[in-house]
Structure 1
Amino acid sequence: MTPFESNIFFYILFVSLIPAILLGIFEKRIKYYGTLLSIFMIALFIGSNKFQLLSFLCFYAWEVLLIKSYLIIRNKTNKASLMRLFILLSIFPLCIVKFSHFFTTSTVGFIGISYITFRIVQIIIETHDGLIKKINLIDLTYFILFFPSVSSGPIDRSRRFEDDINKVLKRREYFDYMGTGIFKIFQGIAYKFIFSSLIYNHWLIKISTSFTISSILQYMYAYSLYLFFDFAGYSCIAIGTGYFLGVKLPENFNLPFLSKSMKEFWDRWHMSLSFWFRDFVYTRFVMTSMKHKWFKSRYTSSYLGFMITMLVMGIWHGTYLYYIIYGLYEGFLLVATDYYQRKNKFYKAHKKEKWFQALSIFVTFNLACFGLLLFSGRLTIYFKI
């Protein structure tokens, strides 16, 4: 069963949240019920596929073993090389899934493996940094399996998550959570099942596959809007569900199509993902390269960091060529944006004027939509990418 898609899923969801609501109202801790509910929901998502169930159980055991083992090792040494080794070991199952299409046409992996891997890597890195000094197995399991965001995010951080689940909310505070949760769920339903469905059924699927400027532009805009409402809708429902369980998941979208630059766009689009890559890929690469003086200029470190970060993000989505091109395109735009904003006198002179800001929004919107066109794989129809 796919999360947040069918009527039967929402029925199961609403019924299963009743005990959580009662626990919240009576000022009891929800995390133990939430852990059991997440295990149940993961089993529901996997369904009757025994191979995927076995894959999931092996994956869970492997990742917990890595986390616990690294915590023991970290208490004895803080070598960065060991941290990197454990990261490689933790992402190895995901790599098998991402590259499996080169070797087999059968389904490999299970729902949520990408986002769960993000959670594991964050724990290992922050354990190395000394930010995580102890790990509770129940809290770890709940964080790894937290079902509202297991399929498509938002990507939470373990320390923030643990603060939420171990806090007992006052009744009034829990009522506020419920109110926010209801609003977010209905917002998500409107986005996903009304706006995205209208765009998909009455525009996107009716666009001709002919190689014309009109059809390509129509698909570019239709797909970009469809993807936003579908994905933002899912995120809102996931966030709303989290509130009923006493967890404040991070926001994922903040009016991204009103951004004035591509740097701002990535501060507004799939925010939990872009912030994760910023913190654990870009920043660490730049700091390491500057510490070891790999390059003469810090801007070289930054620009190469942009390219590496977005390329990794593209490959994370998939190993098909159009995802790689998408990542390189986004990296190039970030480099060009930074250089333009630092060097261009016209930009510095007019950046606060309303006409210039409106023009910047228009240009950024089109650059972002073209990136999503690359991401969609639509151009493979014409260029066999």
Structure 2
Amino acid sequence: MIFSSLLFLFSFLPFILIGNYVWRNIKWQNTLLFIASLYFYAWGEREKVFVMLASILLNFFIGKWIENKEGRSKVVALIVGIVVNLGVLVYFKYSQFIVENINQLLSVLSIPIIDGIKYERLPLGISFYTFQSISYLVDVYRKEVKAQRNFLNLGLYVALFPQLVAGPIVRYNEIAEQLLQRTQNLIKFNEGIRRFVIGLGKKMLIANPMAYIADEIYMLPVNDISTPMAWLAVLAYSLQIYYDFSGYSDMAIGLGKMFGFDIAENFNFPYISKSIREFWTRWHISLSIWFRDYLYIPLGGSRGSTLLTMRNLIIVFFITGLWHGASWSFVIWGLFHGIFMLIERAGFDKILKRMPAIIQHMYMLLIVVFGWVLFRIENWTDALQIQKTMLGMNLVESQYEISYFMNSYYWLTLFAALVLCIPMHKLLQRLQFYPWTKYWESALIILVFIFSVVEMVSNTYSPFIYFRF
């Protein structure tokens, strides 16, 4: 089940909302939301819901184990917890990748390959709920929170359906008190609806049309993609992944508000950044903060020598790439960003700041857009071929023209997507002195919802990009 489906909008969500506001007792609400979240997940994952339940149960006991120990025993308990969580993630997400690479190495060495490995389908959202579980154990270890004594509350933290499948990654210390007491009122509920509809519009009205353009071009043989087509495809994909993922995050935040939860922001207009360093403070914010607090700083951060700082950054971006998928293309994408982070930290950021703002923006956009080619194309050699084409190093005479992929509807959507990448709300805030502005905003939200529903009825199933991570 996905947010952008008629079943979710007109059946599942209304039923749960009614139940939530009929049962005002927080314990009953938590019970309802936990059961609903398991049902939501099991709708598409079936038996994989038991993997998540087993993870919750293990972390429930390991959290209490960590809290009850001191000294070396406490460290051992934490290590066991992290190893168990990562072990489950590695088994489902990386076992095939690991075995395939080992077999390639063994074939070179003329050693018999590994056989008899049964590959399991990747459970949706496992990367997200694994990181949330690890943050819970570490927060208990650091004594920032107490171990949860109520299995249902811990289960709700991990399985809460608004952010279960594709984030944002919610840290336990951010939501622990909300599991026991949260504000629920009409103002917050209305804000939740507004935010959800904005996210729905991003997905249905912008991300999906951009996906069509990118998919149509990338389905062609690499040698049939001309330079203009390569640029159009990566531009469309850059907009697709932003509106798709930020749209999901908006819907998750909006749904959270409807049920009284305050979920942290995950995007802040990343394409207006002036450096790669700034980009990662605006893109997938919850993941960046998670890696900063639970990996980069524990490794030493930037407190040591320049060499150690470089090592720490490379490790973080290597794992960032690997977190997104079991493929060398994702690893290369992560390291690609990591290298530019190192270049900026080495002093280029000071040079960059002395340049005109437009140059800073163009620098950031070129790096990010080139990186998305590595992210989108699973075969990294094909990705490099397309990047060469973008730079004019491959002169391709394609049988297709740009007009084959674009009509007035797609051009208009592309233009709107580019405009909405910048913080237009600041301009709208200046217009608030007009008394009719709020009514126009309400009318716009209604129209976005109507057009989004029309798109759901007329189009086929289109999952969110980050569902596969």
Common topology (TM > 0.5): yes
Residues 211-255 of structure 1: CA deviation (Å, up to 9, x unaligned): 343333222211111111111111111111111111111111111
Aligned to 1:18: 18
SS at match of 1:147: coil
Matched, 1:363 2:374: no
Code of the aligned partner of 2:52 = F
Structure 1 residue 359, shift from structure 2 partner: 1.4
SS at match of 1:131: coil
Q: 1: CA distance between counterparts of 2:383 and 2:242?
A: 25
For residues 1-385 of structure 1, what are the structure 2 equivalents within 5 Å? 1=1, 3-11=2-10, 12-23=12-23, 30-47=29-46, 50=47, 52-74=48-70, 77=72, 80=75, 82-102=77-97, 106-137=119-150, 138-169=152-183, 174-202=185-213, 204-206=215-217, 208-211=220-223, 212-287=226-301, 290=303, 297=305, 299-341=306-348, 344=350, 346-347=351-352, 350=354, 356-377=356-377, 380=380, 382=382
Percent identical residues: 24
Q: 1: CA distance between counterparts of 2:178 and 2:276?
A: 33
TM-score (norm 2): 0.71
Q: 1: CA distance between counterparts of 2:72 and 2:378?
A: 49
Question: Cα 1:310–1:27, aligned 2, differ >3 Å: closer, same or farther?
Answer: closer
Residues 242-271 of structure 1: CA deviation (Å, up to 9, x unaligned): 111111111111111000111110111111
Return 5+ residue gaps in structure 2 as ranges.
Answer: 100-116, 386-469
Q: 1: CA distance between counterparts of 2:75 and 2:339?
A: 29
SS at match of 2:228: helix
SS at match of 2:260: coil
TM-score (norm 1): 0.85
Residues 95-117 of structure 1: CA deviation (Å, up to 9, x unaligned): 11122324567543422211111
Code of the aligned partner of 2:84 = L
Structure 1 residue 383, shift from structure 2 partner: 6.3
Alignment RMSD: 2.7
Q: 2: CA distance between counterparts of 1:7 and 1:105?
A: 36
Q: 2: CA distance between counterparts of 1:71 and 1:258?
A: 43
Question: Cα 1:99–1:187, aligned 2, differ >3 Å: closer, same or farther?
Answer: same
Bigger RCO of structures 1 and 2 (CA < 8 A, at least 6 apart): 2
Q: 2: CA distance between counterparts of 1:144 and 1:322?
A: 29
Indicate conservation of the 8 Å contact 1:119/1:156, yes or no: yes
Structure 1 residue 305, shift from structure 2 partner: 1.5
Indicate conservation of the 8 Å contact 1:285/1:305, yes or no: yes
Question: Cα 1:28–1:93, aligned 2, differ >3 Å: closer, same or farther?
Answer: closer
Residues 314-343 of structure 1: CA deviation (Å, up to 9, x unaligned): 11112211011011111111111222346x
Aligned to 2:451: none
Structure 1 residue 204, shift from structure 2 partner: 4.2
Indicate conservation of the 8 Å contact 1:112/1:151, yes or no: yes
Indicate conservation of the 8 Å contact 1:29/1:165, yes or no: no
Q: 2: CA distance between counterparts of 1:384 and 1:372?
A: 11
Residues 281-335 of structure 1: CA deviation (Å, up to 9, x unaligned): 1111125x95xxxx6x2x3232221111111111111221101101111111111
Question: Cα 1:21–1:340, aligned 2, differ >3 Å: closer, same or farther?
Answer: farther
Indicate conservation of the 8 Å contact 1:100/1:108, yes or no: no
Structure 1 residue 79, shift from structure 2 partner: 5.4
Q: 2: CA distance between counterparts of 1:78 and 1:271?
A: 33
SS at match of 1:201: helix
Q: 2: CA distance between counterparts of 1:361 and 1:320?
A: 30
Q: 1: CA distance between counterparts of 2:6 and 2:381?
A: 34
Q: 2: CA distance between counterparts of 1:201 and 1:129?
A: 47
Code of the aligned partner of 2:86 = I
Return 5+ residue gaps in structure 1 as ranges.
Answer: none
Question: Cα 1:133–1:166, aligned 2, differ >3 Å: closer, same or farther?
Answer: closer
Structure 1 residue 373, shift from structure 2 partner: 1.4
Q: 1: CA distance between counterparts of 2:156 and 2:364?
A: 39
Q: 1: CA distance between counterparts of 2:323 and 2:167?
A: 14
Q: 2: CA distance between counterparts of 1:127 and 1:159?
A: 9
